[in-house]
């Protein structure tokens, strides 16, 4: 079940430090586990709030998070210290479009407090005006003291200046605290939503495309666990002893199949103009937050490193998103297209049941991820390009799948629109998600500080070699899964199993399998 969270209490000052909640009995023995102290978070299900009617939405992206906590900070004696980072939130746009923002918050089942954000914003503006007025008065008094004055008059100005200085210091501190609180509250606001996205929960998601048909078997179908056991492809029992539940060893041809999937996927995506990357798999928690993920709390999906500000990545989207952090790109360099291979680590907190058994939901896995940075006007087209690449890859492997336009209640905070691909898994007797493609517009770039400078149109007065003076804009970011290896293994083993117990390797992967065309039982 998808969960959202926000900081509990009406203000940041009400936060208290919570005790450690380990991910599992085994994970508490590892170095990687949720931070020993974390902000107290209030959790609720997306599926418990009422649905809202459709509406005409302004196409605009906000910076903030519905499913992420506010940026890391310290709380000492109920006093909020300066956050580690701040997002470039367009508060004026939020205020000018508050009706659309309010409906969007409701449709996405977010618990963001829009009215509180607007109230804090107005207070901040009024306090800024008062601070500026006092600064002006202080300067006026200082200028008056430059001339020749009677001692009594000079003493009067000295007292007046002293009082202004003290009052100004108090108000400036109040302004800093108010800005910090405004940042925390505003970052609970999710991205805006594409007007074509269906409103509601998972059941309201809309089918975009259906490819192929379910394979008809004339023999009893096995699931991937039974196939793997008979063909000696993986070992969950030994991994559970070594690392804990939801870990695994791949063995024999399964190892070759993982490497074949990764190499084939990278090769195919690179043909489409993507630059290959391998990434750091440990990142700062602030980068995790800026990308829209929650690195702390009981239901976090992120492994944090104890006594550190670092986390293990849950997806290559995070380190790839950070590669251009705090930079200004040239418009001519866009789009930037990356395809990254990495190992991913997820706590899978709250996941249980037969639907998550075996390789379907695990703590560590290999994944190939696509990531694009582009101009705002191009992001919808690149979103379609990403889903087309995914569909081409899965069609080449001969999978039966469907593409779904996910409803508002199933969108993560960064996503403006998200397409999921679900493939038929005959052993599990259901469709299972194997990839997704999200357009995050400027949600992540406003937090990561990634801008571009538009190229100026040539004019008769332009000087050769002069840099553009056009105002910078935030790029749009998109991400998509090209291959999540464990779930692809589930699909391939279950869909291409044979009556004799063997598994046929799809043609595109055979050149990467060292000549192996079929996985058969080992001779005893």
Is pLDDT of 157 > 80? no
Contact 179, 389 (CB under 8 A): no
Is pLDDT of 54 > 80? no
Complete domains list, the chain, with CATH? 3-186 (1.10.287.40)
The whole-number average pLDDT for the span 394-420 is 97
Confidence of residue 137 (pLDDT cuts 50, 70, 90): confident
The whole-number average pLDDT for the span 504-517 is 96
Q: pLDDT tens digits for 475-495?
A: 999 999 999 999 999 999 999
The whole-number average pLDDT for the span 352-370 is 87
Task: Output the pLDDT for position 144.
Answer: 73
Task: Output the pLDDT for position 355.
Answer: 66
Is pLDDT of 385 > 50? yes
Q: pLDDT tens digits for 176-205?
A: 999 999 999 999 999 999 999 999 999 999
Q: Establish whether 284 is a catalytic residue.
A: no
- Rounded Cα distance between 204 and 254, Å, is 37
Task: Output the pLDDT for position 36.
Answer: 38
Task: Output the pLDDT for position 69.
Answer: 36
What is the pTM for the complete model shown?
Answer: 0.81
Q: Establish whether 433 is a catalytic residue.
A: yes
363 known ligand binder: yes
Give the active site residue among 296, 361, 446, 447: 361
Task: Output the pLDDT for position 296.
Answer: 67
Task: Output the pLDDT for position 458.
Answer: 52
366 known ligand binder: no
* Paired tokens of 30: 């590892």
Which of the residue ranges 233-237, 266-270, 287-291, 300-304 would you say has the lowest mean pLDDT? 300-304
Give the active site residue among 27, 286, 436, 438: 436
Confidence of residue 51 (pLDDT cuts 50, 70, 90): very low
- Rounded Cα distance between 82 and 177, Å, is 8
The whole-number average pLDDT for the span 295-314 is 86
461 known ligand binder: no
Q: Establish whether 357 is a catalytic residue.
A: no
Is pLDDT of 228 > 60? yes
- Residue 158 vs residue 64, higher pLDDT: 158
Task: Output the pLDDT for position 162.
Answer: 86
Is pLDDT of 507 > 50? yes
Q: Establish whether 346 is a catalytic residue.
A: yes
364 known ligand binder: yes
346 known ligand binder: yes
Is pLDDT of 94 > 50? yes
Query: What is the DSSP-derived secondary structure letter of residue 50?
Result: P
- Rounded Cα distance between 420 and 203, Å, is 13
Give the active site residue among 63, 298, 487, 494: 487
Length of the chain (residues): 524
Confidence of residue 513 (pLDDT cuts 50, 70, 90): very high
Query: How many CB atoms neighbour CB 355 within 10 A?
Result: 11
Task: Output the pLDDT for position 466.
Answer: 53
Q: Establish whether 342 is a catalytic residue.
A: no
The 10 Å CB-count burial string (b at 16+, else e) for 481-514 is bbbbbbbbbbbbbbbbbeeeebbebbebbbebbe
Q: pLDDT tens digits for 410-439?
A: 999 999 999 999 999 999 999 999 999 999
369 known ligand binder: yes
Confidence of residue 500 (pLDDT cuts 50, 70, 90): very high
436 known ligand binder: yes
Is pLDDT of 384 > 50? yes
- Residue 364 vs residue 21, higher pLDDT: 364
Give the active site residue among 138, 331, 433, 510: 433
Is pLDDT of 352 > 70? no
137 known ligand binder: no
Q: pLDDT tens digits for 105-130?
A: 999 999 899 999 999 999 999 999 99
Is pLDDT of 258 > 90? yes
Burial-class residue 25 by CB neighbours within 10 Å (0-12, 13-18, 19+).
exposed
Q: pLDDT tens digits for 12-24?
A: 333 333 333 333 3
Provide, rounded to the nearest whole percent, the portion of the chain with pLDDT above 70. 80
348 known ligand binder: yes
- Rounded Cα distance between 99 and 234, Å, is 53
Is pLDDT of 406 > 50? yes
Task: Output the pLDDT for position 440.
Answer: 98
- Rounded Cα distance between 340 and 290, Å, is 19
Give the active site residue among 46, 346, 446, 447: 346
Phi/psi zone of residue 121: left (φ > 0), alpha (ψ -120 to 50 degrees), beta?
Answer: alpha
Is pLDDT of 45 > 90? no
Task: Output the pLDDT for position 151.
Answer: 80
170 known ligand binder: no
**Average pLDDT for the chain:** 84
């Amino acid at each position: 079940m998808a969960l959202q969270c926000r900081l509990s209490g009406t203000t940041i000052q009400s936060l208290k430090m919570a005790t450690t909640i380990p991910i599992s009995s085994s994970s508490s023995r590892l170095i990687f586990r949720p931070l020993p102290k974390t902000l107290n978070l209030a959790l609720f299900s997306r599926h418990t709030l009422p649905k809202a009617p459709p509406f005409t939405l302004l196409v605009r992206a906000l910076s903030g998070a519905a499913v992420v906590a506010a940026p890391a900070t310290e709380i000492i004696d109920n006093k909020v210290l300066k956050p580690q980072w701040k997002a470039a939130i367009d508060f004026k746009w939020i205020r000018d479009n508050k009706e659309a923002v309010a409906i969007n918050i409701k449709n996405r089942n977010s618990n963001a407090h829009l009215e509180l954000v607007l109230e804090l914003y107005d207070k901040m503006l009024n306090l800024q005006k008062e601070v500026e007025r006092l600064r002006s008065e202080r300067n006026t008094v200082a200028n008056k003291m430059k001339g020749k004055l009677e001692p009594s008059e000079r003493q009067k100005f000295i007292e007046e200046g002293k009082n202004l200085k003290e009052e100004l210091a108090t108000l400036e501190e109040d302004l800093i605290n108010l800005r910090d609180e405004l940042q925390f509250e505003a970052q609970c606001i999710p991205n805006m939503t594409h007007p074509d996205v269906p409103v509601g929960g998972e059941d309201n998601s809309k089918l975009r495309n259906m490819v192929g048909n379910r394979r008809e078997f004339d023999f009893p179908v096995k699931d991937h666990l039974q196939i793997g056991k008979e063909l000696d492809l993986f070992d969950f029992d030994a991994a559970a002893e070594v690392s804990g539940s939801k870990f695994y060893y791949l063995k024999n041809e399964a190892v070759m199949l993982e490497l074949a999937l990764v190499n084939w996927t990278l090769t195919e995506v690179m043909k489409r103009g993507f630059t290959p990357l391998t990434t750091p798999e440990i990142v700062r928690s602030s980068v995790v937050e800026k990308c829209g993920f929650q690195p702390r709390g009981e239901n976090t999906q992120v492994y944090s490193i104890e006594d550190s500000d670092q986390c293990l990545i849950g997806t290559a989207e995070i380190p790839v998103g950070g590669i251009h952090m705090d930079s200004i790109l040239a418009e001519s360099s866009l789009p930037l297209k990356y395809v990254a291979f990495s190992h991913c680590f997820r706590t899978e907190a709250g996941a249980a049941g037969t639907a998550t058994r075996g390789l379907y939901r695990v703590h560590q896995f290999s994944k190939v991820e696509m990531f694009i940075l582009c101009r705002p006007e191009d992001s919808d087209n690149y979103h379609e390009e990403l889903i087309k690449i995914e569909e081409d890859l899965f069609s080449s492997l001969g999978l039966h799948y469907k593409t779904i336009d996910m409803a508002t209640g199933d969108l993560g905070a960064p996503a403006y629109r998200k397409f999921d691909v679900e493939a038929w898994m005959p052993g599990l007797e259901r469709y299972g998600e194997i990839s997704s493609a999200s357009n995050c517009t400027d949600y992540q770039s406003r937090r990561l500080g990634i801008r571009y400078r538009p190229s100026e149109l040539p004019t008769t007065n332009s000087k050769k070699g002069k840099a553009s003076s056009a105002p910078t804009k935030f790029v749009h970011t998109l991400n998509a899964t090209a291959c999540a290896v464990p779930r692809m293994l589930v699909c391939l083993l279950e869909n291409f199993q044979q009556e004799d117990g063997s598994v046929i390797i799809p043609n595109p992967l055979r050149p990467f399998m060292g000549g192996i065309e079929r996985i058969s039982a080992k001779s005893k």
